[in-house]
């Protein structure tokens, strides 16, 4: 196994920030969306694996001590198992996917082929429950698709694109130009064939020589569990078809997680406000509470104070790209009735004198506490 520190090019005493910065820089260089060289994918996976271990204080401590990642079952990736590409992409998306959006990270690509089709952005809205389980969506796309009549070439029936006469098929023209420093040769795209090297004498009648037509198709996308708003998934080559057989653009699926009526999300953790009655707070109670993983039993201890938080471990949100789940924090709110019926009024009145005398666990009654608080 290679050394994780070496992989990221950081010292063994690197800070968490150093590690994050080093990973981001290298991962952007080798991200398969940007780098199409053969070893880029393997390198990207190795970087993500190193980052996954070194960015987690517990796993890093384990690695420093034993020279390996914690064994499987420790809430992370297994011992010497290597992560696969989708894990790696998820790790990257989790920590950097929402930083500045797609355009900020990858900028305009294109660059090379003028015929390349446009990227298509779609937004998928998910409920909190779908984020917990992961989701599969069929997306109906109305965008350019290849023309079936000419098989994308743009050439009319029975004809083929022919080499451009102006540039001899190279797509480039050289022109002598003169500047104050002397004469030099300028190379630019051929204007007759727009740099393609071929021209179409008889354009296809269906697409008028474009090689693509307006079309509609359905793309299915798997959304991993644990995503957040502003994460995105790139489906390469699933965007608009290119002109005359040029490469297709990408489909970029932007994630939007809908707000939830019950739960508030804070990273991997969830919060739930739970009203309880006076008697339940005083006597304790066993309640059933909702979680995105199904109903759970919650023990309210007797004497619970309003505002106390009871933690349900592992009942929060799954962590994107990791085998870990956050907690559900239940905040207890003691509910005061706004109106009382006669019976309730009688019972509370009967209770009142006892509140004054009854000592609490720490030997104080409500009234002594109140007097203290008021400085009396
Ligand atoms: Zn056509
Ligand atoms: Zn040409």
Rounded to the nearest whole angstrom, what is the distance from the C-alpha of residue 204 to the centroid of ligand 1?
5
Rounded to the nearest whole angstrom, what is the distance from the C-alpha of residue 152 to the centroid of ligand 2?
19
Q: Where are the domains of the chain?
A: 1-96, 162-199, 263-374
The whole-model pTM stands at 0.64
Higher pLDDT: 34 or 243? It is 243
Q: Return the CATH number of 1-96, one of 1.10.287.110, 1.10.10.10, 1.10.645.10, 3.20.20.140.
A: 1.10.287.110
Q: What is the pLDDT of residue 356?
A: 63
Ligand showing the shortest atom-to-Cα distance for residue 151: 1
Q: Which residues contact 270 (CB under 8 A, 6 or more apart)?
A: 263, 264, 291, 292, 315, 316, 317, 326, 327, 328, 329
Enumerate residues with CB within 5 Å of ligand 1 (an ion).
147, 149-150, 204, 206-207
pLDDT in tens, 84-117: 887 888 788 777 764 333 444 444 444 467 788 9
Q: What is the pLDDT of residue 234?
A: 87
pLDDT above 90 covers a percentage of the chain that reads: 54
CA–CA gap between residue 51 and residue 57 (Å, rounded): 11
Of 207, 213, 215, nearest in space to 141 by CA: 215
Rounded to the nearest whole angstrom, what is the distance from the C-alpha of residue 130 to the centroid of ligand 2?
52
Rounded to the nearest whole angstrom, what is the distance from the C-alpha of residue 244 to the centroid of ligand 1?
8
The phi and psi torsions of 346 (rounded to 5 degrees) equal -65, -45
pLDDT in tens, 44-63: 999 999 999 999 998 899 88
Q: Which residues contact 161 (CB under 8 A, 6 or more apart)?
A: 153, 154, 155, 198, 199, 200, 244
CATH code given to domain 263-374: 2.60.260.20
């Amino acid at each position: 196994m290679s050394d994780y520190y070496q992989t990221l090019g950081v010292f063994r005493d690197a800070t968490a920030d150093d590690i994050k910065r080093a990973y981001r820089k290298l991962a952007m260089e080798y991200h398969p969306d940007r780098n199409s060289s053969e070893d880029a994918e393997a390198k990207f996976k190795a970087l993500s694996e190193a980052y996954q271990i070194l960015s987690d204080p517990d796993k890093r401590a384990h690695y420093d001590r034993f020279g390996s990642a914690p064994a499987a079952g420790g809430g992370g990736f297994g011992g010497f198992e290597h992560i696969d590409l989708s894990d790696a992409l998820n790790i990257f998306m989790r920590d950097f996917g929402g930083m500045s959006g797609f355009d900020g990270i990858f900028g305009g690509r294109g660059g090379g082929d003028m015929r390349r089709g446009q990227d298509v952005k779609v937004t998928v809205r998910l409920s909190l429950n779908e984020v917990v389980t992961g989701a599969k969506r069929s997306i109906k796309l109305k965008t350019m698709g290849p023309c079936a009549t000419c098989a994308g070439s743009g050439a009319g029936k029975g004809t083929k694109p022919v080499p451009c006469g102006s540039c001899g098929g190279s797509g480039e023209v050289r022109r002598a130009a003169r500047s104050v420093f002397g004469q030099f040769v300028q190379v630019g795209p051929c204007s007759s064939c727009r740099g393609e090297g071929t021209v179409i004498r008889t354009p296809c009648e269906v697409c008028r020589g474009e090689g693509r037509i307006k079309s509609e198709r359905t793309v299915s996308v798997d959304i991993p569990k644990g995503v957040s708003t502003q994460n995105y998934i790139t489906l390469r080559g699933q965007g608009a078809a290119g002109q005359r057989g040029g490469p297709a653009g990408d489909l970029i699926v932007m994630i939007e997680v809908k707000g939830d009526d019950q739960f508030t999300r804070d990273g991997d953790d969830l919060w739930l406000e739970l009203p309880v009655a006076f008697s339940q707070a005083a006597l304790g109670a066993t309640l059933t509470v909702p979680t995105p993983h199904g109903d759970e039993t919650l023990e309210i201890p007797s004497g619970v104070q309003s505002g106390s938080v009871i933690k349900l471990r592992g009942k929060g949100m799954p962590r994107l790209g990791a085998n870990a789940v956050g907690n559900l924090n239940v905040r207890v709110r003691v509910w005061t009735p706004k109106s009382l019926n006669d019976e309730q009024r009688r019972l509370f009145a009967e209770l009142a004198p006892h509140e004054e005398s009854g000592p609490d666990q720490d030997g104080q009654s409500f009234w002594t506490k109140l007097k203290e608080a008021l400085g009396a």
